[in-house]
Amino acid sequence: MTTTRKIIHLDLDAFFCAVEEQRDPSLVGKPFAVGGKPEERGVVASCSYAARQRGVRSAMPMVHALRLCPNLTIVPARHRVYEHISQQVMEIIHRLTPQVEQISIDEAFLDVTGIDLPLRQIASQLQADIYQQLGLPASLGGATNKLVAKIATDVGKAANRSDKPPMAITIVPPGDEAAFLGPLPVQALWGVGPKTAARLKLLNIEKVGDLAARSEQEMVELFGKHGYDLVIHARGIDDRPIITQHQIKSISQEVTFTKDIRDLRLLESALLELSESVGRRLKEEKLKGSTVKIKLRWPSFVTVTRQVTLTQATDQEQIIFETAKHLFHKLWEPEQAVRLIGVGVSGFYRETRQLSFWDLQTEKDRTLQQAIENLQHKFGKQAVQRGAQTTTIRTHSAKRPN
């Protein structure tokens, strides 16, 4: 028999807004949204609970949000600050267990099977730690698997009707998964979008419980392999493991401009900022990568990428930037408008921290990196060894890797 797992899903409550309320306490209780200006095709990145009560939602165009809530205060986003605070949250979580899968800037799964305390107690303690140490409200869900834990968080949050953060904790005990999911609409499940929901409705399947009652065979006939997953998930079964950072394949950052950009200086400064951000994350993850990649999207939505392999794995912003710039100029013609620009690093090896031998090795590597960096400053492109080059053309936007 396998042990019953204890999985927690944590989601900060209106994270960007909570950070902005700390900067400006006069925002507390007011309807406000963090995001871009309406005249620049801005969207709502996060909105306060008072704004949510008026129907404002994240990812909504700011123009629409203002129509719903004319007295909405718009606060510009400070992504670097959010990233920094997010790391502090993740540090608190990592003190509890190394089994952490961060799924976005403000969301993570934790496997706390090894902690011999009731799930609710572990969740309350973690919520209190984050609130006391960083002043940030969070909602948590606990269950025997990721699917049910995540839905538990969503259900806890959705029950909130007030203009304050929910700070919900919802625990689904082992064995209660199917009963918990049963009354929820099928859209609560991962992979059920409006299209699938519409098809299910034609089959008289509206609740998760309706789906759970169908045979696997019937659903496979109708939906293929996805049909099998649907039924299994509807019954509250999900054995996907927590994927920790050790399995990170690449680290990348990209930015979509509010207006298409043709100015070389602006494009290069975006490249620099992205390279710095990627370098910072590499250092935090104690990773060095030997492949640097850039991605450009034209106003036509055609996306092109290019990559090179360096002679030495790096986590140094300057090397990433110089390499990205070199790649950029292979793809970009002067005056060409750019809609999105991205920088990524992959091809990792990980520093092993436990052994002092490796620490010494790391020190040596750093000296080498410095030497390469200096060389690069002097000779530019020549210090970069060209590797395999690939050009991918996609007609739709690519998913951002986690």
Positions annotated as catalytic residues are 107
> Are 61 and 72 contacting, i.e. CB atoms less than 8 angstroms apart?
no
- Give the binding range for Mg ion (CB under 5 A) out of 27-35, 106-114, 225-233, 240-248: 106-114
Tell the smallest beta-carbon distance from residue 157 to Mg ion (Å): 8
> Are 90 and 126 contacting, i.e. CB atoms less than 8 angstroms apart?
no
From residue 288 to residue 327, what is the string marking binding to Mg ion with x (rule CB under 5 A)? ----------------------------------------
Tell the smallest beta-carbon distance from residue 17 to Mg ion (Å): 10
> Are 256 and 298 contacting, i.e. CB atoms less than 8 angstroms apart?
no
What number of other Cβ atoms are within 10 A of residue 73's Cβ? 16
* Distances in whole angstroms, Cα of residue 17 to Cα of each of 14, 27, 64, 83, 377: 5, 9, 19, 14, 41
Q: With respect to Mg ion, which residue has the nearer C-beta, 35 or 289?
A: 35
Strands, E assignment, 210-337 = 250-261, 287-297, 303-314
- Give the binding range for Mg ion (CB under 5 A) out of 35-43, 100-108, 288-296, 370-378: 100-108
- Give the binding range for Mg ion (CB under 5 A) out of 10-18, 26-34, 91-99, 262-270: 10-18
Is residue 20 close enough to count as binding Mg ion by CB under 5 A?
no
Q: With respect to Mg ion, which residue has the nearer C-beta, 15 or 328?
A: 15
Tell the smallest beta-carbon distance from residue 367 to Mg ion (Å): 42
Is residue 11 close enough to count as binding Mg ion by CB under 5 A?
yes
CA distance 165 to 332: 46
How many Cα neighbours within 13 Å face the side chain of 195?
A: 2
- Give the binding range for Mg ion (CB under 5 A) out of 6-14, 82-90, 317-325, 337-345: 6-14
Is residue 273 close enough to count as binding Mg ion by CB under 5 A?
no
Tell the smallest beta-carbon distance from residue 340 to Mg ion (Å): 24
Tell the smallest beta-carbon distance from residue 62 to Mg ion (Å): 19
CA distance 394 to 402: 19
- Give the binding range for Mg ion (CB under 5 A) out of 11-19, 339-347, 355-363, 385-393: 11-19
Per residue in 17-35, is it b (16+ CB within 10 Å) or e — as a string? bbbbbeeeeebbebbbbbb
Show the tokens assigned to 400: 């951002």
Number of H helices, E strands in the chain: 14, 12
Tell the smallest beta-carbon distance from residue 75 to Mg ion (Å): 16
DSSP H helical ranges for 79-193: 79-96, 119-134, 146-158, 177-181
- Give the binding range for Mg ion (CB under 5 A) out of 12-20, 297-305, 308-316, 362-370: 12-20
- Which residue in the set 21, 106, 154, 238 belongs to the binding site for Mg ion (CB under 5 A)? 106
Contacts of residue 113, Cβ cutoff 8 Å, sequence gap at least 6: 3, 4, 5, 6, 7, 99
Q: With respect to Mg ion, which residue has the nearer C-beta, 109 or 328?
A: 109
Number of amino acids touching Mg ion (CB under 5 A): 3
Q: With respect to Mg ion, which residue has the nearer C-beta, 93 or 205?
A: 93
100: enclosing H helix or E strand: strand 100-104
Sheet holding 7-12, edge to edge: 100-104, 107-111, 7-12, 138-143, 169-171
Q: With respect to Mg ion, which residue has the nearer C-beta, 90 or 261?
A: 90
Tell the smallest beta-carbon distance from residue 270 to Mg ion (Å): 26
Rounded-to-10 torsion of CA 65, 66, 72, 78: 60
> Are 46 and 35 contacting, i.e. CB atoms less than 8 angstroms apart?
yes
Q: With respect to Mg ion, which residue has the nearer C-beta, 87 or 362?
A: 87
Q: With respect to Mg ion, which residue has the nearer C-beta, 58 or 316?
A: 58
CA distance 188 to 148: 10
Q: With respect to Mg ion, which residue has the nearer C-beta, 138 or 270?
A: 138
Tell the smallest beta-carbon distance from residue 165 to Mg ion (Å): 10
Binding site for Mg ion (CB under 5 A): 11-12, 106
